[in-house]
Structure 1
Amino acid sequence: MLYSPIKFRNLELKNRWVMSPMCMYSATEGVPNDFHFVHYGSRAQGGTGLIMVEATGVVPEGRITSKCAGIWNDEQAAAFKKIVDFVHQNSETQIGIQLAHAGRKASTWNGVQTDDETSWETVAPSPIPYKPGERTPHELTVEEIKNLIADFKNAAKRALEAGFNLIEIHAAHGYLIHQFLSPLSNIRTDEYGGSFENRIRFLIEIVEAVNTVLDENHPLFVRISADEYAANGWNLDQSVELAKILKTRNVDLVDVSSGGNIHGAKISVFDGYQVPFSSRIKKEAEIQTGAVGLITSSKQAETILENHDADLIFVAREILRNPYLAVRGAFESGQECFFPHQYERAKK
């Protein structure tokens, strides 16, 4: 199954390998550069079915750091187009972009909130810092929430103009949308806080807005943290219910990660530790899912797919170590996988 194609709307991926979105902290004013060109271009040459470009800010204040990528203006979109065009012209890989807003976890460097000329005011659903001692984030007004929904829509429109094949909304890892989902970081008393239905409203309205600029050739993924490992916090049961609703809102896949919203949460990490989350969401919500989290080999990936625990395999650190992960797995198993014609002599 690992090297079988799969379709989302009309978009076909040649195999189930996905390069997971990973921040590179190397942009200038949100503009990707030659490093990003080489970084993403090399993974496309490695036969990966889909590349997901790193968390990309929909507004300047939405970046995790001052060196994170953005797509709130045309200069950034034009720089991304150069990368996207190369991927399309020189591989069979599809390429998507993860649209993000870091919320209260913005304006940091090496995980520490900055307090210098590179800093800015952070925002959140409620005035609760991520860590003790950090600046209290500004509590978003309803008008500001509506403006951010429009920002996600406009960013998606720019991404399509740059040639991206699909959009992923980042609702995981303790960033702004996740902050709205969790009752531990969202203590609002208006229509965006309180009940489960109110806490998911921000994400649902973003999904609906982004879908207005998509078509049958451009799917929509959503990344969530299935569990935040904290008492009375966001958990797997709520993730299943959210996934059921996302399916009715024309979301094509839930990219299942975990954690990130509660400072100091205890997480037991081991190979494939998040796969059970993906499996339960896939089976109970009857939606396609992506598995991520210390997946390092073709054999491990194949087993996940054969057990129907996921539909796509998202790989992060391992594909940094080995850009040709998909090709090497195909060599070992005798499967077909894209390999640059310039490198044909290396197949024998």
Structure 2
Amino acid sequence: MVIDAAKSLKKNKTFKSFMKRAGVFLAIILLEILVLTLVIDYTGVDLGYVIASKNPHLLVYSFVMLFLLISLRELAKINKVHDIDYKKSIPLFLLNIFSVYLFYRLNVYFIDNPALIASRPLFYSLIWFGLAFILGASLLFAVFSHEFVGYFLKKFKKQLLISGAVSVVFLYLSVQFEKLWPFFSKIVGASVYFMLSIFFKGATYTPNDGSPVVGIPSITAKIYAPCSGIEGMSLFILLFTVLGIVEYKKIDQKRFFIIFPIGLIGAFAVNILRTFAIFVMGHFTSAEFAIGAFHSNIGWIAFTLYFLILIYLTYPWMQKKEDNKKKTKKHKLIK
């Protein structure tokens, strides 16, 4: 059971140590992303330029979430986290910082030389992803010892391969699904305009073909594909389906399919609230910050919180009655 596995992780001291380091790794990565997005706002340089994939963030996010879903029980069995060798960690961390700078310069070079990049797309794609790999790997080995990374890769190689393969297929399918974004953008635009008109004076709405323009006096923006809700709905379909497969023997299928459409609608509603929040943030701070750094990060944060809360609230109800009875009986025996 997903919730039981999550609870058992709390009792594992080794896992707690692992999570602390993973938290440091994640915090630094998020800080670097924030710095880069603030640079975007200040310089106007598009650091999201990718020539081999239009949605690298979607690929990474789906990979991480899939891995956690299918590996939760095994993560609870982690029994060793090696000590950090600071003599090695400090140089690696400095390499990571230098890689961030190089990553910025590389994107500037790509934008300044579009014809050159177009002439050898595969070559420059390999450079882009190679540098991105060095950026991530240098920080990974700065936080975790190479012994632990080797142990982790060996223990979870099957889950990592499955997560990677499914994520690539998912990215392709989501790109096909994304073609429907003009339809959903209209719904998002009309909904956001309705909410803005309640709280702000002078709210405007212009229904363009597939990309409505919504605004208030302090901030106006078009509702393009990233705000259409396609990504959130695609991720929900993927993750909830995988949850159903992983927990197939433990959940009531009828109840699972009752929650499925409700959860999908909820994911779309969360996107509407997220888009509304961007306008609110733009009103109280600046349009540049709202459409830049805030827009880049609020989406995955909101979806993650929504998905975790949904599972926490609905999983006990979806669980088969016999499993619930066993759990209750076991709880009484412990008492």
* TM interval, short-chain normalised: under 0.3
Larger Rg: 2
TM-score, normalised to structure 2, is 0.26
TM-score, normalised to structure 1, is 0.25
* Larger relative helix fraction: 2
